[in-house]
Each structure stands twice: as structure tokens, then as C-alpha cells.
Amino acid sequence: MAKLPTALQDKLNKRTQEAALRQLPVANSLVDFASNDYLGFSRREAIFDQTHQLLLDRNIKTNGATGSRLISGNHPLYAETENHVARFHGSETALIFNSGYDANVGFFSSVPQKGDFILYDELCHASIRDGIKMSNAKSYKFIHNDFEDLQRLIGKCVGGNAAIYVATESVFSMDGDCPNLEELAQLCEKYHAHLVIDEAHALGVFGNQGRGLVAEHRLQSKVFATIVTFGKGLGCHGAAVLCSTELQSYLINFARSFIYTTGLSPHAVANILTAYQHLESNPEALESLRNNIIHFNQQKNLLGLKPMFVHSKSAIQCAIIPGNEKVKKVANQLRESGFDVKAILSPTVPEGQERLRICLHSYNTESEISGLLQTLAQLIF
């Protein structure tokens, strides 16, 4: 094979020196505190079997979409699933993308126009930031969950015909915390700004039947677009933008990550539909998850670990342990004790904010959670 260019090899060497080189993990049999499979749907045989049966009942025996949705890939399951997703979330309509990354890149690269403004939380996901980079609009970040700072920026942008888009997440992927969405919606309404909320880590965790925080606070009419992804709480793949029919039409016509890619296979779309049906008809998984979140926070407080954790009532719990080497060492020690916990290193998070990212699930037991935290306390104190 051809030798890697020197500049690229130098970047790899720097990552190695900083103890920040990423490598693909191998499968293990450790207690899962690492995956985003909050409800255990990815491993639920009933969903697998029901998805297969749905395809048999509809006599769908194709393995792939055969093309983009605008060419030949818009099989009938798409419309049925999008209608179901929209009804479930109380949205006018929904448009399915191949992934959450595709949805965010497609939206932010195409919707805000030249002369418009995008104001985004400084901790927004990389997919949002990448979409913003591809946009012709001007963009400014505001201090995390600081609406006074956001209002200051809005004040500099109002006037003329420019549209203002405000982007945030309902549950932040690397902190697990949540903004005050009601206050944010009121602020955007006051200044006629278009609010965009990524609910990737709220679907299946918050709200009635796991509908998310936008639905829980009944803010659907005040949110311009909501992005829900299916690779976390639903345990499958894909994403959808919840929006008006006019915005859906715009995205179909101008979102390049939608237009120029092969659609999801019938099996993938059937899996999304089946997962939503299970979310509606199996409340025990959601109840178990919520009980585990409460148990985790109680045990964390009892063991004196609260100061090192970012405040969170979500399934994502983060313990700040500064330094790539130090946090990797603690994560490795936890793995040696049987717990699969991932260390999040800089530059994924800012230097000095390296952390253990602990994900809770409906299938974790209270004894596993207690054991994890007791082991962590022994390693830290």
C-alpha cells in the first residue's frame, strides 16, 4: 500500500503522544455502561421477530432501497413510518434521514441562508457544527445553557430581513444535562427566532411513552424543527426531522444529505416502525430506565461522588477526571472490574474536561449500578 503522507502521519503521532489516539473497540462481555441502547431495544428479540414478520406480511423481499428516495428508493414503508413518527411526536409531518448526522448536516447546510444567523449552544454535537460550517449563514456560539448570553447575541442579529436560527439539544450527549426548553422557547418567540432542537438522547427516555422533552413540555408548535434519532433509545438506525409540511418539502428539494444518498432498506424502515410500536406498548422498559437513573443518583450522593459528576437526570452520567492518561487509567481499572465504561478524551471534549461517560439502561440491575459506583469511589478516594 502507498505510504501515508507525512502531514497525516504527524497528526497520528501527535494523537499518540497526547494519549488521544482513537481505536475501534472489540466486543466484550462486560456489564454495559457504554452503549446508547437505553431501553435495550437493539437486543430485544420481539422487535427483531416482529420486524421480520412485518416484511413477510407485506411480501417485501428486497434487501436494499435500490437508490435515493427521489429515484427508486421511496418504498411504501417510508410514508407509513413517517406518518406514525409524526403522530407519535405530535408533529405535522416527519422526514426520515439515514442517520442523525445526515439529518443535522442536511438541515443546517441547507435551511439557513446567506445573510441569516445561526446561534448555537457551544456544546452542540459535531453533526450540528459540521452542518453549520457548510452553511452560508453567519454563526455564533453562546455559552452553554446561558440564555442571557444568547439574548445578547440575538440583540446583535435582529433587524432587517435576516432569519435567526437557535440550535440546542434537549439532552447533551457529553454532559447529559438539559436546558430550560420552556424559557428558551419563550425567548425565541419574543424575537421571532426559529428554534431547532436535537432530541437524540431524549427519545425513549423523557416524556409520556418516551416522546422526548419537546412533547413533554408541549412545545411542538413553538419549535421550528426537532431532530429525533433512532440509534439510541429505539435501538435501530436512522433519524427524522419533525417539522411542517412546507419545511419537509424544502428539505426534500435542498438537503443534499437527503437527496444524494441511497435510502434506508425496507428492513431498516420496518425496524423503526416496530421499535416505535414497542415504545408505545411496553412501558416497563422506560419505567426500569427511570428507576435506574434515580438509583444511580442516590448512590452517587451516598458515596460522596456527586461533586465530580455533571448534574444530570438523564441516562447519561459524566464524571469529570481531568487528563487523558488519568481518565483512561480509571476507565481501564473499571473494565478490569467487569464494567464497560468509556473514557471521553480531549479533543472530543475540551482539555481539562476529560471524563467517564456512564450510560444507564433499563437492563442494568441496581446491584450492577451500586457495584460500579462503589468501585469508582475506591479508585478515586
Residue 27 binned pLDDT confidence (cut-offs 50, 70, 90): confident
Q: Which residue has the cell 466484550?
A: 28
Percentage of residues in the chain having pLDDT higher than 90: 96
pLDDT band at 20 (very low <50, low <70, confident <90, very high): confident
Confidence category of residue 227, pLDDT binned at 50, 70, 90: very high
pLDDT in tens, 363-375: 999 999 999 999 9
Q: What's the mean pLDDT in 322-340?
A: 96
Q: Which residues of 94-111 are buried (b: 16+ CB within 10 A; e: fewer)?
A: bbbbbbbbbbbbbbbbbb
Give the tens place of pLDDT for each residue, 109-166. Answer: 999 999 999 999 999 999 999 999 999 999 999 999 999 999 999 999 998 889 999 9
Q: Is the pLDDT of residue 326 over 90?
A: yes
Mean pLDDT of 322-337: 96
| 239-292 pLDDT tens trace | 999 999 999 999 999 999 999 999 999 999 999 999 999 999 999 999 999 999
Of 377, 230, 380, the closest CA to residue 300 belongs to 377
d(CA 310, CA 300): 12
Compute the mean pLDDT over every residue in the chain, rounded to the nearest whole number: 96
Confidence class for position 304, pLDDT limits 50, 70, 90:
very high
Q: How far is Cα 74 from Cα 102, in angstroms, rounded to an integer? A: 17
**If pLDDT is split at 50, 70 and 90, which confidence band does 295 have?**
very high
pLDDT for 157-197, tens place per residue? 998 889 999 999 999 999 999 999 999 999 999 999 999 99
Grid coordinates representing 238 are 436512522
CA distance 90 to 354: 38
Per DSSP, what are the bridge partners of residue 195?
166
Query: Could you give the residue ranges of the DSSP H alpha helices within the chain?
Result: 6-17, 45-57, 77-89, 100-110, 126-134, 147-157, 181-190, 213-216, 245-254, 256-259, 266-281, 283-302, 324-336, 366-380
Kindly state the average pLDDT of the residues 21-50: 95
- pLDDT given for residue 72 in this prediction: 96
Q: How far is CA 18 from CA 332, 339, 342, 354, 356, in A?
A: 17, 25, 17, 13, 17
The grid cell for 32 is 454495559
What would the DSSP string read from start to end of 345-381?
Answer: -TTTS-TT--EEEEE--TT--HHHHHHHHHHHHHHH-
pLDDT at 88 over 90: yes
Residue whose cell numbers read 445553557: 145
Q: What is the CA radius of gyration of the chain?
A: 21
Cell digits for 265? 432498506
For residue 19, is pLDDT > 90? no
SS3 of 99, please?
A: coil
Type of residue found at 290: R
pLDDT reported for residue 145: 97
Percent of the chain with pLDDT over 70: 100
Nearest in space to 323 (alpha carbons), one of 355, 282, 299, 291: 355
Are the CB atoms for 355 and 344 separated by under 8 Å?
A: yes
Q: What is the pLDDT of residue 176?
A: 95
Three-state DSSP at 276 gives helix
Residue 26 has pLDDT above 90, yes or no: no
> Would the CA dihedral through 314, 319, 323, 329 be positive or negative?
negative
Give mean pLDDT, residues 217-224: 98
The catalytic residue positions are 36, 125, 169, 173, 198, 201, 232
Q: Which domains does the chain have, with CATH numbers?
A: 30-41+283-380 (3.90.1150.10), 62-281 (3.40.640.10)
Report whether 44 contacts 235 (CB < 8 A): yes
Apex 92 CA angle, 270 and 197, nearest 5 = 85
What pairs with residue 344 in β-bridges?
A: 355
